[in-house]
């Protein structure tokens, strides 16, 4: 949707060791163009009972979200220098409600939810920062588990909704929206 509207889009994998965050952040800080939008849609999912989690499991969830914290910081700096923008973070509904065999994941996504609230307060009014959730994952195994364990949650947004959410919170739409 954003590309169709004439916007240049760059996508990268925050968990990929071949694209270290320091290089990405340095590139963002050197960028002279106005970065108008940022969508953080990072996640990994490995159902593990609480008593079976290892330090490495927990660290992997936290490391992924730490990466988008600092990337967001760099992009927000660019947006502030250029007059504003929109940052949309995605998180799982598990950040609000607990799920079985997902304690580390729940904690990580809960951190994203509260981080987004803080970001919205600190960056307003020039940068909007809504939280878009829940979104269905492309991983069919996760989708099956999620639906089986959460039959009461019937409204799940498809990944294609994310670009429309970004446009809804764009600087043009800002007077009509709230974070």
Q: Would you name the residues annotated as active-site residues?
A: 105
The helix (H) or strand (E) run that includes residue 146 is: helix 140-149
Task: Give long-range contacts, CB 8 A cutoff, 24+ apart: 102-105.
Answer: 102/45, 102/47, 102/48, 103/48, 103/50, 103/53, 104/48, 104/53, 104/57, 104/58, 104/61, 105/45, 105/46, 105/61
For residue 84, the tally of other CB atoms under 10 A from its CB is: 18
Task: Give the strand pairing for 127-128 and 37-40.
Answer: unpaired
Tokens read off for 22: 């320091």
């Amino acid at each position: 949707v954003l590309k169709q509207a004439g916007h240049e889009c760059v996508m990268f994998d925050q968990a990929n060791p071949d694209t270290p965050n320091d290089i990405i952040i340095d590139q963002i800080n050197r960028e002279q163009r106005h970065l108008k939008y940022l969508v953080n849609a990072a996640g990994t999912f490995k159902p593990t009972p609480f008593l079976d989690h290892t330090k490495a499991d927990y660290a992997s969830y936290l490391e992924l979200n730490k990466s988008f914290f600092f990337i967001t910081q760099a992009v927000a700096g660019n947006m502030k220098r250029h007059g504003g923008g929109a940052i949309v973070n995605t998180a799982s509904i598990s950040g609000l409600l607990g799920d079985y065999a997902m304690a580390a994941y729940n904690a990580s996504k809960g951190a994203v939810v509260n981080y987004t609230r803080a970001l919205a307060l600190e960056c307003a009014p020039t940068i909007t920062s809504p939280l878009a959730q829940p979104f269905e994952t492309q991983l069919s195994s996760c989708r099956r588990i999620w639906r089986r364990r959460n039959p009461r949650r019937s409204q799940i947004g498809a990944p294609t909704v994310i670009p429309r959410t970004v446009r809804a919170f764009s600087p043009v739409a800002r007077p009509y929206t709230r974070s």
